[in-house]
Amino acid sequence: MKRRQFLTNSICAALGGAGLYTALGNLRMVEAAANAYGPQRFDDYKALVCVFLFGGNDSLNMIVPRDDGHYQQYRRARATLAVEQSNLLPLIAQPGGGASDGADYGFQACTTSEDLIGMGGLQGLFNSGQAAVLGNVGTLIRPTSKTDYINQRVELPPQLFSHNDQQQYWQVSRTGVGRGYGWAGHIADLLRDANPDAFIPMSVSLNTESVLQRASQSSQYVIGNDGPREFSRFEWDADSRRAFLELMAPGAQQHVFGRSYAGAFRRARENASAVATALESSGPLQTAFPDSDLGTQLKMVARLIKVRQVLGLKRQVFFVSMGGFDHHDGLLNDQPGLLARVSQAMTAFHAATAELGVADKVTSFTASDFGRTLSSNGDGSDHGWGGHHLIVGGAVRGGRFYGTMPTLINGGDDDAGWGQIIPTTPVDLYAATLAKWFGVGDSELDLIFPNLPNFNPRRDLGFMG
């Protein structure tokens, strides 16, 4: 599919299924979008790094009100799940950047059995203006109130509170046309000419393919924590390898599908060789990373950013992930260690971008299946809806809270039922703000996020400088 066809399909989706001739009525829009992003469009470097917390992070215990009045309200609502007030690291907001509810907030500071001290690294980044909090984000098709939800007056994302469906919707943010492609994949299709001399695609995922980066035209490059492995799925003896490579040799295939497969395999090997050579010749990073899976993933991202010029890249999107956040039980015992690992890894990664001189060119951000219920089930929380997220980087207007913090009252105006908090900020606005900073024009945002017009006049949440 050509890029112009992608844009045409996107416009049809954005217009809510309008007829073909209606969708194509404004040919100037298609032509402008198709020609806006050529090889000369970008003369700088930028990268987005999605840190996906699989399982549904209980962000109500990640970011906790700590002033007496709001803390007591939180404690009553959370009951057996409440973090002790003394175990909160203060978040000192910039002037005018406080939370919408007027509360003072803090990150967890619990010491775990692994001797990890909470989220001190991210606290330092927030207090120094390098990180921001976005409150109560979730999957929405249009603004939704409690009355709207109860009376089924608005369309809702499919299968709320389902892990698989909400992981998908967070990364795709659409139904209908294009729902099989991630929003970062749509960006890669739109900006595919931004890296005309690249050895690898714009989209890079660690260890496994991501939904976020699936695209109609653009590929995603999957790399391991330790680098590319040319035969990662072919652990054969020497004779088997030699036979397979002979089958893959140019001109050895009579059928078009065989030639296509062989060509793709050869390109993959060439890409792997180019990446491995670039990484080996680049020298080690000075920044120390934690010895955790997320820390190792982010270290590889930093190493790839270090060799960006060798690989011919001006725009990149990375996907890393961490599991274990489905806390139906054991929340107070297990979550602090997980959050500490997130904090250590993201803090080290930001330090590495500073070492490389690109701290203001790289923005990392968190995502998750959904938030958790405000109410306790005794030892844990259940599948919720809205939740808080973090954005880190030198270009972030940090030390500030964005979005609307929910009222922490079970059965209150923000509670859809069973403690499931209705989000007030859609994923679309969160992602669109990142996409705009990344280089997507304002007029093209609706092509990538077809629900965005439902939230007019907001187009940008303001957390990027």
Q: What percent of the chain has pLDDT over 70?
A: 87
Structure tokens at 366: 């968190």
pLDDT-derived band at 22, boundaries 50, 70, 90? very low
Alpha-carbon distance 462 to 433, whole Å? Answer: 7
Q: Is the pLDDT of residue 388 over 80?
A: yes
Report yes or no: 401 and 93 within 8 Å, Cβ to Cβ. Answer: yes
User: Out of 27-31, 133-137, 237-241, which region has the weakest mean confidence (pLDDT)?
Assistant: 27-31
Q: Is the pLDDT of residue 256 over 90?
A: no
**How do beta strands 362-368 and 387-392 pair?**
antiparallel
Per the prediction, the chain carries an average pLDDT of 88
Q: Is the pLDDT of residue 32 over 80?
A: no
Structural domain span for residue 201: 36-228+271-455
How much is the pLDDT for 315? 97
Digit-coded pLDDT (tens) for 346-377 = 999 999 999 999 999 999 999 999 999 999 99
How much is the pLDDT for 243? 75
Task: Establish if 234 belongs to a structural domain.
Answer: no
Task: Establish if 13 belongs to a structural domain.
Answer: no
Which residue has better confidence, 28 or 198? 198
pLDDT-derived band at 36, boundaries 50, 70, 90? low
Report yes or no: 155 and 142 within 8 Å, Cβ to Cβ. Answer: yes
* Closest alpha carbon to 225 in 170, 175, 174, 298: 298
Q: What percent of the chain has pLDDT over 90?
A: 75
Task: Establish if 348 belongs to a structural domain.
Answer: yes
User: Out of 91-100, 113-122, 384-393, 434-443, which region has the weakest mean confidence (pLDDT)?
Assistant: 113-122
Task: Establish if 365 belongs to a structural domain.
Answer: yes
Helix (H) or strand (E) holding 104: none
Which residue has better confidence, 165 or 21? 165
Task: Establish if 279 belongs to a structural domain.
Answer: yes
Task: Establish if 248 belongs to a structural domain.
Answer: no
Which residue has better confidence, 257 or 455? 455
Q: Is the pLDDT of residue 3 over 50?
A: no
Digit-coded pLDDT (tens) for 283-334 = 999 999 999 999 999 999 999 999 999 999 999 999 999 999 999 999 999 9
Render 403-442 in DSSP notation, one character per residue. Answer: E-PPP--TTSTTB-STT-BPPSEEHHHHHHHHHHHHT--G
Task: Establish if 90 belongs to a structural domain.
Answer: yes
CATH number of the domain to which 73 belongs: 3.40.720
| DSSP reduced 3-state for 327 | coil
Distances 380 to 289, 328, 335, 339, 425 between C-alpha atoms, Å? 31, 4, 10, 16, 25
CA dihedral for 447, 448, 453, 458, sign (positive or negative): negative
Digit-coded pLDDT (tens) for 59-117 = 999 999 999 999 999 999 999 999 999 999 999 999 999 999 999 999 998 655 555 56
* ω into 39 cis (within 30 of 0): no
Q: Is the pLDDT of residue 21 over 50?
A: no
How much is the pLDDT for 262? 73
Q: Is the pLDDT of residue 408 over 80?
A: yes
Task: Establish if 9 belongs to a structural domain.
Answer: no
Which residue has better confidence, 420 or 267? 420
Q: Is the pLDDT of residue 48 over 50?
A: yes
Q: Based on C-alpha coordinates, what's the Rg of the chain?
A: 23
Q: How many CA atoms are closer than 13 Å to the CA of 30, on its beta-carbon side?
A: 19
Number of domains in the chain: 1
pLDDT-derived band at 41, boundaries 50, 70, 90? confident
